[in-house]
Amino acid sequence: MLAEIERFHKWLRRRSPGASTHVHYTSDVALFFAWLGKPPAQVKVRDVDAYIEHAQQSGHAMATVNRRLAALRSFYEFLALEQDDAPANPVIPRRHFIRQGERLPRDLEDATVERLLAAITHPRDRAMFLLMLRCGLRVGEVRSLSLGDLYLQAAAGKLPRLWLHGKNGKQRVAYLSGQPLAALKEWLELRPVASDEAVFVNRSGKRLTVTGIQKRLAHYCGKAGLWATCHQLRHTFGRQLAESRVPVTSIQRLLGHSRLRTTQTYIHISDQQVQADYEAAMARITKRLGEGGEAV
């Protein structure tokens, strides 16, 4: 790995010690230079053009390409801070970043969720995935949970809650309903004594990694004969809130979204008023046209 990339890795880790950005961005930048075979000072705008074409021809998703471009641009911004004679940044947002249409969140059907939950028997794992499904936690937030973040003995008139360390160092509170609270308490009674303050630890008493949690979900998906991701559990939580007519601003706060527009996508996938209007319209159209599809 280039020495500049190693310094970039350390710089990112210092800036956001609780995030995984340093891992992904370092990997993305290393992949770019391994493909190009040039030192940072020799990279030109057209090299970035060629890399985008290569990534697209290799079948990489638009979001992946844009993340790699963001990583590369951040790398050159780091060089500009570090060096007086730093090379020009070859990543030009208006030229290189790929426009993406607005995509709706992919949730799970309720029947699929029940099949998955039936397959999850380990108390630790059941608690982890119920926190995603019933409280909307991200996989990184589950991993980051420490014993000091738990407030399970709520005062009168208040709900049990968790203190979360979210994306970009932001903190928020997540409330616990009966099902995830019971699962969490069951796990805590069985949790081995460990020096690590993590809520969810492995057999060695160490904090689980994000990859380790994802592998556990893949294991249970295999048992249940389905496929799901950790983020789909969170999406399902958002969709179920929207179906229960929770105000969009409350959903925003429960999911920890910075922008209301992000939260509104859950309304689009579960707009009961639109569904009712469509159903009523189809009934009127069918009555007017008759069973044969012709006006009567």
How far is 48 from 206, CA to CA, in rounded Å?
41
Tokens describing residue 156: 């009168």
Told to judge if 106 belongs to the known catalytic residues of this protein, a careful annotator would answer no
Told to judge if 54 belongs to the known catalytic residues of this protein, a careful annotator would answer no
Instruction: Give SS3 for 150.
Output: strand
Instruction: Give SS3 for 256.
Output: coil
114, 120, 123, 129 alpha-carbon torsion, rounded to 10°: -60
Told to judge if 266 belongs to the known catalytic residues of this protein, a careful annotator would answer yes
* Residue spans of alpha helices (H) in 245-271: 248-255, 260-269
Q: Are 245 and 258 in contact (CB under 8 A)?
A: no
Which of these is catalytic: 9, 124, 138, 216? 138
Q: How far apart are the first and last CA of the chain?
A: 75
Which of these is catalytic: 126, 234, 235, 239? 234
Told to judge if 257 belongs to the known catalytic residues of this protein, a careful annotator would answer yes
Q: Are 61 and 40 in contact (CB under 8 A)?
A: no
Which of these is catalytic: 24, 54, 167, 207? 167
Told to judge if 268 belongs to the known catalytic residues of this protein, a careful annotator would answer no
Told to judge if 234 belongs to the known catalytic residues of this protein, a careful annotator would answer yes
- Tell me which residues are annotated as active site: 138, 167, 231, 234, 257, 266
